[in-house]
């Protein structure tokens, strides 16, 4: 009989409570997918009770109160419990969390305090709940101190048998600057001799040195992490941990992301009703005040405006393609100079470009359903969900051949088994060349609809990913090395 496994899943954000980016999708979906996969997987989610948390429709009950030691002080923590589709959810509150204005801040004096407190409060919670996890599954630097602190407490019988997983969604965000807060809460730098000096007091590398298993969010990203280009200075250290490193491609929520039932769309459709996409295109063009033209290729980005995502590459690349016919929608917010670059492009091409500078989940769905090509020229892309969502909606992705884009997009070839377009160099020229090729195919309706249908037929279900996580949990508890890069 399969063994029962209890997993505490820690994250800074989880949809539908709060979502800033892909991590919110993952933490919102994976725990439920694991539970659905097997009654033997008892997964519970733990997130901070951010001010902006959406708790409408959830029954929230006080669950525990205790203190987290900080120097000579005791920081009060209050935990509330709720349930999301069968998954128990713990919401941790305390002054470092309630005083923060947003989920993430560029000010480390806010985030350093908040996430160190949250991480330690989550570990402390285990003293107050009659439920002992076999595995703590932490995500990104915000929950890395839990893994590090757990490692330091392995002589405590309360924690001795708990294994840990540190999952990397985005390596460059290591929590640099959090060191004073780690110290204040009694977490001292790592003594791992393979860590570069600078990394010994960064939460993520500290946890990567201490954890039992490291997961990257795609097999390609797991391989890339070991190279100077993507390893962010940790590649040599990560090579010493390669026997516990693997990559698992994330999935998407196929119920929520379903063009057949998505209420945000003007017209629902599935793979056999692709012609209906034209209605969604027309209403998107009309909503955004773009000239109504069903034949013109409609391009889009739905993204955080961050140098990682290559927004600047698209802006420059489209300028180079001014002689061709296209329209482009940019939906996103982020770094002001990138927002400005997109606005400038709209001013330059007022009847072709729309700069929608905001987070708008409703509009994002209409964009996936109404545009022809999703642009993702990311400089690096650990996994990327937008390209999978796009394929599900019959919108063809065009991305850079890196990380999860490489693992999820099959590059178009004449044999017609492709699902999108990939290019290598992170340059406007390479992007423009690839887009030119894509537009040639776009003009051949038969080949284009084959590409769309191929994409819509891919299996990006969480079930697929959950099976791999389940195997990993079992390997870990059987003290086996993780299977690399599957
Ligand atoms: P990352 O996690 O690096 O931000 P992903 O592609 O993994 O990128 O996930 C991004 C998710 O956030 C997708 O679900 C995408 O639709 C959504 N998203 C990004 N920007 C916006 C926006 N401005 N409005 C609505 N949804 C957005």
Model pLDDT, residue 35: 97
DSSP H/E element including 330: strand 327-334
178: pLDDT strictly greater than 80: yes
Structural domains of the chain, count: 2
Residues 471 and 446 in one domain: no
Helix (H) or strand (E) holding 448: helix 445-456
Task: Count other C-beta atoms under 10 Å from residue 16's C-beta.
Answer: 16
Q: What is the pLDDT of residues 129-142, one digit of tens each?
A: 989 999 999 999 99
CA of residue 363 to ligand 1 center, whole Å: 12
22 CA closest ligand 1 atom index: 2
Across the strands, what pairs with 476?
A: none
Same domain, 292 and 436: yes
- In eight-state DSSP terms, residue 47 is E
The residue count of the chain comes to 486
Euclidean distance between CA atoms 84 and 64, whole angstroms? 19
Q: Considering the chain, what is the average pLDDT of its residues?
A: 96
Structure confidence at residue 106 as a pLDDT band (50, 70, 90): confident
Question: What atom of ligand 1 comes closest to residue 308's alpha carbon?
Answer: 3
Give the torsion sign (CA, 332, 338, 344, 349).
negative
Residue nearest atom 20 in ligand 1 by C-alpha distance: 303
Mutational test site, ligand 1, from 300, 364, 366, max ligand atoms within 8 Å of CB: 364
Residue 70 belongs to domain spanning: 5-251+463-477
- Ligand 1 atom 16: residue of nearest CA: 386
Contact 138/147 with Cβ under 8 angstroms?
A: yes
Tell whether 24 is covered by a domain: yes
Nearest 5°: CA angle at 405, between 401 and 410? Answer: 80
Q: 304 CA to middle of ligand 1, Å? A: 6
Does a structural domain hold residue 264? Answer: no
* Residue pointed to by tokens 């500078």: 357
Task: Give me the CATH number covering residue 218.
Answer: 3.40.50.2000
Q: Which of the listed residues 104, 142, 385 should we mutate to test ligand 1's pocket, taking the one with most ligand atoms within 8 A of CB?
A: 385
* Cα 331 to averaged position of ligand 1 atoms, centre (Å): 9
- Ligand 1 neighbour 100 (Cβ under 6 A): no
89 in contact with ligand 1, CB cutoff 6 A: no
Question: What is the mean predicted confidence (pLDDT) over 101-119?
Answer: 94
Cα 455 to Cα 22, 101, 172, 371, 452, distances in angstroms: 20, 39, 30, 14, 5
369 and 346 in one domain?
Answer: yes
Sign of CA dihedral 283, 289, 293, 297: negative
Is position 267 within any domain? no
356 C-beta closer than 6 A to ligand 1: no
Q: Where are the alpha helices (H) located in 187-290, listed in sequence order?
A: 203-210, 219-224, 235-240, 277-287
Task: Specify whether 343 is located in the same domain as 396.
Answer: yes
Q: Are residues 179 and 303 in the same domain?
A: no
> Which region holds residue 403: left if phi is over 0, alpha if psi is between -120 and 50, else beta?
left
**Assigned domain for 262 exists:** no
Residue 261 lies in a domain: no
Report which protein residue has its CA nearest ligand 1's atom 18.
303
Top-confidence residue, 369 or 72: 369
Nearest residue (by CA) to ligand 1, atom 4, is 21
Ligand 1 atom closest to the CA of 376, numbered from 1: 6
Looking at residue 22, its pLDDT comes to 85
User: What pLDDT does 60 receive?
Assistant: 98
Instruction: Give φ, ψ of 144 to 5 degrees.
Output: -60, -35
Where does 165-290 have alpha helices with state H? 179-184, 203-210, 219-224, 235-240, 277-287
Answer yes or no: is 187 within a domain: yes
Check whether residue 356 and residue 455 sit in a common domain.
yes
For 94, other C-beta atoms within 10 Å of its C-beta total: 21
Where residue 169 falls among pLDDT bands split at 50, 70, 90? very high
Considering only residues 22 and 286, tell me which one the structure prediction assigns the higher pLDDT. Answer: 286
Task: Give the distance (Å) from ligand 1 centre to CA of residue 20.
Answer: 7
CB 425 within 8 A of CB 408: no
Residue 378: CB within 6 Å of ligand 1? no
Residues 242, 287 within the same domain: no
Tokens of residue 121, six digits: 């409060």
87 shares a domain with 13: yes
The pLDDT, as a whole number, for residue 417 is 83
Q: Is 418 in the pocket of ligand 1 (CB under 6 A)?
A: no
Q: How far is the CA of 262 from the centre of ligand 1 (A)?
A: 17
Angstrom distances, CA of residue 325 to CA of 43, 290, 442: 50, 13, 12
Mutation test of ligand 1: which of 300, 303, 397 has the most ligand atoms closer than 8 Å to its C-beta?
Answer: 303
Strand partners, 213: 165
Out of 253, 307, 359, 386, give the residue to mutate to test ligand 1, the one with the largest number of ligand atoms within 8 Å of its CB: 386
Count other C-beta atoms under 10 Å from residue 441's C-beta.
18
pLDDT band at 167 (very low <50, low <70, confident <90, very high): very high
- 363 lies in the same domain as 214: no
Nearest to 145 by CA among 111, 118, 106: 118
Residue in the block written with tokens 């602190």? 149
In the structure, what pLDDT confidence band is assigned to residue 90 with cuts at 50, 70 and 90? very high
Pocket flag, ligand 1, residue 379 (CB < 6 Å)? no
**What global pTM score does this model have?**
0.93
284 and 328, same domain (yes or no): yes
Clarify whether residues 393 and 286 are in a common domain: yes
- The neighbour count for residue 271, using CB atoms within 10 Å, is 16
Residue 135: phi and psi, rounded to 5, are -140, 135
How far does the centroid of ligand 1 lie from the alpha carbon of residue 271, in Å?
23
pLDDT of res. 114: 98
Residues 437, 467 within the same domain: no
pLDDT reading at 484 higher than 70? no
| 454 CB within 6 A, ligand 1 | no
Q: Is residue 483 part of a domain?
A: no
Whether 175 is in a domain gets the answer yes
């Amino acid at each position: 009989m399969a063994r029962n496994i209890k997993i505490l899943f820690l994250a800074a954000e989880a949809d539908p409570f709060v979502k800033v980016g892909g991590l919110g999708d993952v933490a919102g979906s994976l725990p439920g997918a694991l539970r659905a996969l097997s009654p033997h997987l008892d997964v519970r989610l733990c997130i901070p009770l951010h001010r902006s948390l959406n708790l409408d429709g959830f029954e929230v009950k006080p669950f525990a109160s205790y203190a987290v030691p900080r120097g000579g002080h005791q920081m009060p923590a209050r935990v509330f419990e709720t349930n999301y589709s069968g998954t128990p959810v713990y919401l941790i509150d305390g002054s470092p969390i309630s005083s923060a204005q947003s989920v993430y801040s560029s000010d480390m004096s806010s985030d350093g305090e908040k996430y160190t407190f949250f991480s330690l409060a989550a570990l402390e919670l285990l003293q107050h709940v009659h439920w002992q996890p076999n595995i703590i599954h932490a995500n990104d630097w915000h929950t890395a101190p839990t893994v590090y602190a757990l490692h330091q407490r392995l002589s405590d019988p309360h924690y001795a048998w708990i294994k840990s997983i540190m999952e990397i969604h985005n390596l460059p965000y290591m929590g640099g600057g959090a060191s004073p807060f780690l110290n204040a809460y009694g977490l001292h730098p790592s003594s791992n001799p393979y860590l570069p000096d600078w990394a010994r007091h960064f939460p993520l590398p500290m946890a990567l040195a201490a954890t039992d298993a490291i997961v990257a969010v795609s097999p390609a990203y797991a391989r890339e992490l070991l190279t100077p280009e993507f390893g962010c200075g940790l590649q040599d250290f990560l090579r010493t941990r390669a026997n516990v490193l693997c990559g698992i491609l994330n999935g998407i929520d196929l119920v929520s992301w379903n063009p057949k039932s998505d209420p945000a769309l003007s017209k629902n459709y599935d793979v056999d009703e692709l012609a209906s996409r034209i209605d969604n295109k027309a209403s998107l063009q009309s909503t955004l005040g773009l000239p109504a033209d069903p034949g013109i290729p409609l391009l889009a980005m739905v993204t955080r405006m961050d140098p990682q995502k290559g927004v600047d590459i698209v802006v420059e690349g489209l300028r180079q393609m001014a002689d061709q016919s296209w329209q482009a929608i940019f939906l996103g917010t982020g770094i002001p100079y990138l927002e400005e670059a997109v606005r400038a492009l709209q001013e330059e091409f007022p009847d072709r470009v729309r700069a929608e500078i905001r987070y708008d989940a409703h509009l994002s769905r209409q964009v996936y359903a109404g545009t022809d090509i999703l642009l993702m020229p990311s400089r690096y892309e650990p996994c990327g969900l937008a390209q999978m969502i796009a394929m599900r909606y019959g919108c063809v992705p065009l991305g850079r051949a890196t990380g999860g884009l490489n693992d999820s997009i099959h590059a178009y070839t004449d044999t017609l088994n492709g699902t999108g377009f990939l290019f290598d160099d992170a340059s406007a020229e390479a992007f423009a060349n690839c887009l030119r090729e894509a537009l040639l195919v776009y003009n051949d309706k038969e080949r284009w609809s084959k590409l769309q249908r191929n994409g819509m037929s891919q299996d990006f279900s969480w079930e697929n990913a959950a099976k791999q996580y389940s195997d990993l949990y079992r390997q870990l508890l059987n003290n086996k090395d993780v299977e690399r890069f599957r």
